[in-house]
């Protein structure tokens, strides 16, 4: 991908966005709209529909009708597969357009967005398209006078609420398996990253997905997200976002139809560096990218760096040097390593965490401040704080920004104790040449994903999900399909 084709797209005016209901772009029932600000310069990029409760109900009704008349679930698997494969192809064909639009909306550095957004979304949709005709029911080992069949049925209407950090990638994690299994879906994109995802849905229709099978309503989480959560007609709710919202979704389910709720929430993932790491400089490089890519706005970010005391000072100095060399700025430049903070509110919150860390005895090694303010955009220097006690706010609470807290440890047992001392359990890593130690750490660190001598980069074949307050259920891999099916027993007397 070359810079000139990106620059060719960066100045294009962005059309206003409306909901997608029953295959049509429709405005909010009361005509309401909201400004879409670009984090690159703080300017209004376009406007989009500010959804109402009625809009959400209309979208759910459309999805329900589409499910009941089997216009999608009733198609032969080969036909559904063809549509989803075509959708993946179209996403790839429009990759640059989707990536640039998404970056103008959410601020991720383009080099990363190209791979992590349309690239990953197309791969995910294709993975589930290819899987859908390889999922069999079961025959139970019953006595000979009965036949026990276990059918795998779609659940019905899936509600999906997604965040702003990787709208296409995370959107596809939900849409791919939900649609592959024959469900209808209503999607609620995040306020500050709706545009590229809504565009990706248009491509699904172009690929032949019947109208009504996939609907989307834009607007505020507290209005349309809540209406989805409280709906009596949504069967399963899948979510990626903050713990506070996840908690609300469980309450909504309890107060309405007890819909199943699957949550992928935050993390405070430990990146554990032992002195016997195979290559400490490589570990330092990956420690920096493992927290600072997408300006730390990554649920699995390695936001706690645990370093064996004997190498602490040299290692931290190396990570700081590397971080200072990471170019922060224009997210649409291919040279940029760290893009924008998604919103002004998020930037303020990040800076607040730095103040608290200092007040609690931490020391800033590098960064700590807003930069490039003259652009009007929201940028922050990659920030490293040392001397973070395991019980300090910076070690306990997710920042979701470019702030790395460093804690020294002595020996395996202390590393595990500190690693497991938060309410979260999403990801983590251990760097060591000792095979036994690596396996022991994988076993003992309470988390959904554990990396060894690397950080990040896993593909569609392995599950991603948290333990503790990082959530439940899994995205990616064949295990994700379980969220989108019901098991039905047929007990047949012969
Ligand atoms: P973040 O803090 O990362 O923005 P949120 O959990 O607030 O995380 O947002 C993730 C998604 O949840 C967004 O699509 C947002 O609109 C939605 N959301 C926010 N509040 C609610 C709510 N009360 N009910 C349902 N969805 C919500």
> Do 225 and 280 sit in the same domain of this protein?
no
Are 231 and 291 in a shared domain? no
Ligand 1: residue whose CA is nearest its atom 18 = 221
301 and 207 together in one domain: no
Residue 466 lies in a domain: no
Whether ligand 1 lies within 6 angstroms of the CB of 266 is answered as: no
228 and 352 belong to one structural domain:
no
Ligand 1 lined by 242 (C-beta under 6 Å): yes
Nearest CA to ligand 1 atom 19: 221
Whether residues 162 and 307 share a domain: the answer is: no
Residues 287, 189, single domain; the answer is: no
Distance 225 CA to ligand 1 centre (A): 7
For residue 255, the CA-to-ligand 1 centroid distance in Å is: 18
What is the C-alpha to C-alpha distance for residues 359 and 486, in angstroms, rounded to an integer? Answer: 51
For residues 147 and 295, state if they share a domain.
no
pLDDT at 1: 75
CA of 403 to the centre of ligand 1 (A): 22
Check if 161 has its Cβ closer than 6 Å to any atom of ligand 1.
yes
Would 410 be classed as within a structural domain?
Answer: yes
DSSP E strand stretches across 243-397: 260-264, 270-273, 304-308, 363-366, 370-371, 379-380, 383-386
**What is the domain-level CATH number for residue 362?**
3.40.309.10
Average pLDDT of the chain, as a whole number? 97
Cα of 180 vs centre of ligand 1, distance in Å, is 25
Question: CATH number of the domain that 118 lies in?
Answer: 3.40.605.10
Q: Is 220 one of the catalytic residues? A: no
Non-local CB neighbours of 267 within 8 Å, separated by 6+ positions = 299, 300, 301, 303, 398, 424, 425, 426, 427, 466, 470
Residues 177 and 259 in one domain: yes
- In terms of domains, do 278 and 405 share one? yes
**Is residue 105 within 6 Å of ligand 1 at its C-beta?**
no
Domain of 199 in residue numbering reads as 3-265+471-491
Does one domain contain both 277 and 424? yes
- For a mutational test of ligand 1's pocket, the pick from 190, 345, 350, i.e. the residue with the most ligand atoms closer than 8 A to its C-beta, is 190
265-270 mean pLDDT:
97
140-184: per-residue pLDDT in tens? 999 999 999 999 999 999 999 999 999 999 999 999 999 999 999
Residue 348 falls inside a structural domain: yes
Any domain includes 87? yes
Is residue 246 situated within a structural domain?
yes
Q: Return the pLDDT at 322.
A: 98
437-446 mean pLDDT: 98
Residue 418 within any structural domain of the chain: yes
Distance of CA 241 from the midpoint of ligand 1 (Å):
6
pLDDT at 331: 98
- Residue 18 sits in the same domain as residue 53: yes
Q: Is 92 a catalytic residue?
A: no
pLDDT of residue 11: 87
pTM of the entire structure?
0.97
What number is the average pLDDT over the span 398-409?
98
DSSP per-residue codes, 224-237: IIHHHHH-SS--EE
Has residue 70 been placed in a domain?
yes
In the set 22, 109, 299, 308, the catalytic residue is 299
Residues 30 and 64 in one domain: yes
Question: What is the longest distance spanned by two Cα atoms in the chain?
Answer: 79
Active-site hit among 22, 109, 226, 264: 264
Asked, for residue 486, whether it belongs to a domain, the answer is: yes
How many domains is the chain partitioned into structurally? Answer: 2
Residue burial 115-130, b: 16+ Cβ < 10 Å; e: rest: ebbbbbbbbbbbbbbe
């Amino acid at each position: 991908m070359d810079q000139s084709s990106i620059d060719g797209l960066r100045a294009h005016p962005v059309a206003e966005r409306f909901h997608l209901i029953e295959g049509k772009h429709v405005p909010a029932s009361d005509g309401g709209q909201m400004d879409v600000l670009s984090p690159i310069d703080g300017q209004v990029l376009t406007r989009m529909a500010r959804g109402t409760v009625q809009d959400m109900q209309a979208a759910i009704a459309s999805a329900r009708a589409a499910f009941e008349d089997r216009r999608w679930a009733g198609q032969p698997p080969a036909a559904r597969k063809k549509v989803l494969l075509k959708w993946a192809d179209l996403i790839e064909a429009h990759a640059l357009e989707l990536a640039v639009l998404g970056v103008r909306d959410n601020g991720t550095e383009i080099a990363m967005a190209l791979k992590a957004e349309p690239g990953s979304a197309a791969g995910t949709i294709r993975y589930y398209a290819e899987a859908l005709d390889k999922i069999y029911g079961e025959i139970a080992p019953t006595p000979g006078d009965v036949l026990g069949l276990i059918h795998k049925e779609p659940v019905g209407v899936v509600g999906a609420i997604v965040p702003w950090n990787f709208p296409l990638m995370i959107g596809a994690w939900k849409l791919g398996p939900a649609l592959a299994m024959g469900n209808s879906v209503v999607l609620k994109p995040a306020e500050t990253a709706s545009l590229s995802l809504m565009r990706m849905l248009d491509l699904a229709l172009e690929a032949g997905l019947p109208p009504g099978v996939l609907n989307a309503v834009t607007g505020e989480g507290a209005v349309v997200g809540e209406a989805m959560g409280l709906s009596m007609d949504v069967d399963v709710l899948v979510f990626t976002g903050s713990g506070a919202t996840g908690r609300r979704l469980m309450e909504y389910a309890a107060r309405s139809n007890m819909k199943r709720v699957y949550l992928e929430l935050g993390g405070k993932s430990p990146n554990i560096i032992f002195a016997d790491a195979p290559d400490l400089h490589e570990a330092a490089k990956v420690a920096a990218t493992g927290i600072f890519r997408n300006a730390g706005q990554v649920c699995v970010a390695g936001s706690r760096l645990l370093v064996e005391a004997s190498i602490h000072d040299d290692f931290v100095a190396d990570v700081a040097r590397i971080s200072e060399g990471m170019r922060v700025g224009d997210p649409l430049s291919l040279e940029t390593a760290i893009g924008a903070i998604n919103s002004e509110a998020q930037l303020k919150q990040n800076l607040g965490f730095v103040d608290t860390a200092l007040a609690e005895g931490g020391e800033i090694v590098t960064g700590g401040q807003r930069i490039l303010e003259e652009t009007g955009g929201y940028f922050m220097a990659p920030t490293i704080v040392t001397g973070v006690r395991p019980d300090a706010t910076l070690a306990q609470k997710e920042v979701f920004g470019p702030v790395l807290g460093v804690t020294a440890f002595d020996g395996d047992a202390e590393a595990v104790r500190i690693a497991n001392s938060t309410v979260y359990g999403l990801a983590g890593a251990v760097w060591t040449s000792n095979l036994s130690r690596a396996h022991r750490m994988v076993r003992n660190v309470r988390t959904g994903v554990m990396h060894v001598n690397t950080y990040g980069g896993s593909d569609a074949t392995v599950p991603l999900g948290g333990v503790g307050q990082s959530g439940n259920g899994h995205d990616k891999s064949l295990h994700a399909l379980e969220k989108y099916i019901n098991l039905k027993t047929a007990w047949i007397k012969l």
